[in-house]
């Protein structure tokens, strides 16, 4: 009689791949999550495919960073290399998604190109996102996922993909992404904390729910194929509202801080980590998400 079920089909595993390391590196603030080498990433993705996890989303950590985030669209960039390797490894058994943003690649840690005054230049950034999307498409990505919250990013990426012959690459838009303190552990994992300031000029204010509808509507009009709300648990109301208002497939990102809080409390014996994980991810589905990006994807798939 259960109204909501959680299946392995609903899960996307976020994975980090780092350039220039010989061994996978643990991330202290995300126990159980690694910065992968190209080799360990191949093994992990094969294991996920064998468990039936239908998709992964890749985040790259380049060996060197610069002001324009050159590693993001270099053909030899860490994510482009990973995409080619993974296509070799798993063929079409699994959907390959890639995050499209600049913060992992810029030396200042912001999600865009900066003006001389240190402000993010929205329109200059769109050209960089477009170039990253084309580079990822050429490396074999199935779905590009712009996460930078620049105005017009979905339209710019759609136009760049279409005019370069990549009409069949889909866009998963991080449509309603809040400026959240829950991204802290991710910024350790991706080595992308901003060196100054914060992301409040481009990410959303946690006090706003109606604004989510405006943001999602823009991305839908610009050609998004799937939409996302992020983070998840503190925004279940937003997930439910967006579910009611739009018919596109809806994702929710169960983010790093949400993962690490459960892991920390479970490691202390304060909560039953497995039970809480199942409750949390099921609640995200109950609120209306069709699929969930979660660092617990592998554990959940192993337990099914």
Q: Which of 18, 84, 177, 200 is catalytic?
A: 177
- Helical ranges in 58-203 per DSSP H: 78-90, 122-139, 153-163, 184-189
Instruction: Find out whether 110 and 118 touch, Cβ atoms under 8 Å.
Output: no
Token duo for residue 262: 């459960």
Closest CA to 227 of 161, 182, 164, 293: 293
Q: x/- site string to ligand PBG, residues 134 to 163, per CB under 6 A?
A: -------------x----------------
Q: Long-range contacts for 79-83 (Cβ within 8 Å, ≥24 apart)?
A: 79/17, 79/136, 79/139, 80/135, 80/136, 80/138, 80/139, 81/38, 81/139, 82/17, 82/38, 82/41, 82/58, 83/58, 83/136, 83/139, 83/140, 83/141
Residue 135 pairs in a beta bridge with none
**Region near ligand PBG per CB under 6 A, out of 64-72, 95-103, 207-215, 262-270:** 95-103
Residue 89 or 201: the one with the smaller Cβ distance to ligand PBG is 201
| 183 binds ligand PBG, rule: CB under 6 A | yes
103 binds ligand PBG (CB under 6 A): yes
Q: In whole angstroms, how close is the CB of 132 to ligand PBG at the nearest point?
A: 11
Q: Per-residue contact track with ligand PBG, 196 to 215, x per CB under 6 A?
A: ---x----------------
Check residue 291 for interaction with ligand PBG (CB under 6 A).
no
Question: Minimal distance in Å, beta carbon 258 to ligand PBG?
Answer: 8
DSSP summary character for residue 68 = T
Among 105, 129, 178, 186, which residue interacts with ligand PBG (rule: CB under 6 A)?
Answer: 186
Q: What is the CA radius of gyration of the chain?
A: 18
* Residue 99 interacts with ligand PBG (CB under 6 A): yes or no: yes
Q: Kind of pairing, strands 34-36 and 25-26?
A: antiparallel
Q: How far is the CB of 143 from ligand PBG (least distance, A)?
A: 14
Out of 256, 260, 263, 277, name the contact with ligand PBG by CB under 6 A: 256
Q: Is 195 a catalytic residue?
A: no
Q: Residues 255, 281, 287, 297: which binds ligand PBG (CB under 6 A)?
A: 255
Nearer to ligand PBG, 35 or 147 (CB): 147
- Give me the residues paired with residue 11 across strands: 292
CA separation for the pair 185, 31 (Å, rounded): 10
Per-residue CA distances from 110 to 21, 63, 65, 66, 236 (Å): 24, 17, 12, 11, 27
Nearer residue to ligand PBG within complex by CB, 216 or 269: 216
Query: Is 230 an annotated catalytic residue?
Result: yes
Smaller CB separation from ligand PBG, 135 or 255: 255
Between residues 89 and 122, which has the closer beta carbon with respect to ligand PBG? 122
Q: Which residues would be at the binding site for ligand PBG (CB under 6 A)?
A: 99, 101, 103, 111, 147, 183, 186-187, 199, 255-256
Q: Any idea which residues carry the catalytic annotation?
A: 177, 230
């Amino acid at each position: 009689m259960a109204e909501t079920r959680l299946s392995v089909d609903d899960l996307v595993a976020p994975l980090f791949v780092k350039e220039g390391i010989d061994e996978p590196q643990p991330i202290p603030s995300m126990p159980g999550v690694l910065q992968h080498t190209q080799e360990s990433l191949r093994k992990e993705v094969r294991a996920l495919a064998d468990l039936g996890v239908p998709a992964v989303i890749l985040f790259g950590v380049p060996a060197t960073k610069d002001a324009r985030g050159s590693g993001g669209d270099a053909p030899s960039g860490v994510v482009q290399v990973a995409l080619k390797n993974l296509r070799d490894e798993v063929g079409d058994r699994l959907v390959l998604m890639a995050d499209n943003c600049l913060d992992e690649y810029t030396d200042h840690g912001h999600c865009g190109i900066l003006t001389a005054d240190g402000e993010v230049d929205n329109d200059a950034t769109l050209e960089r996102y477009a170039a990253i999307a084309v580079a990822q498409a050429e490396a074999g990505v199935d779905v590009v996922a712009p996460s930078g919250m620049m105005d017009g990013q979905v339209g710019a990426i759609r136009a760049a993909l279409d005019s370069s012959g990549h009409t069949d690459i889909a866009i998963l838009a991080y449509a309603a992404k809040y400026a959240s303190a829950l991204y802290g552990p991710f910024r350790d994992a991706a080595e992308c904390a901003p060196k100054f300031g914060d992301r409040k000029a481009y990410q959303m204010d946690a006090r706003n729910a109606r604004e989510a509808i405006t943001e999602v509507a823009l991305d839908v009009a610009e050609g998004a194929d799937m939409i996302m709300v992020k983070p998840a648990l503190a925004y279940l109301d937003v997930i439910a509202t967006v579910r009611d208002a739009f018919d596109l497939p809806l994702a929710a990102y169960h983010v790093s801080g949400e993962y690490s809080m459960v892991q920390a409390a479970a490691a202390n014996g304060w909560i039953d980590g497995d039970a809480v994980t199942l409750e949390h991810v099921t609640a995200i589905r109950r609120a209306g998400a069709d699929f969930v990006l979660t660092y617990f994807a592998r554990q959940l798939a192993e337990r099914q």
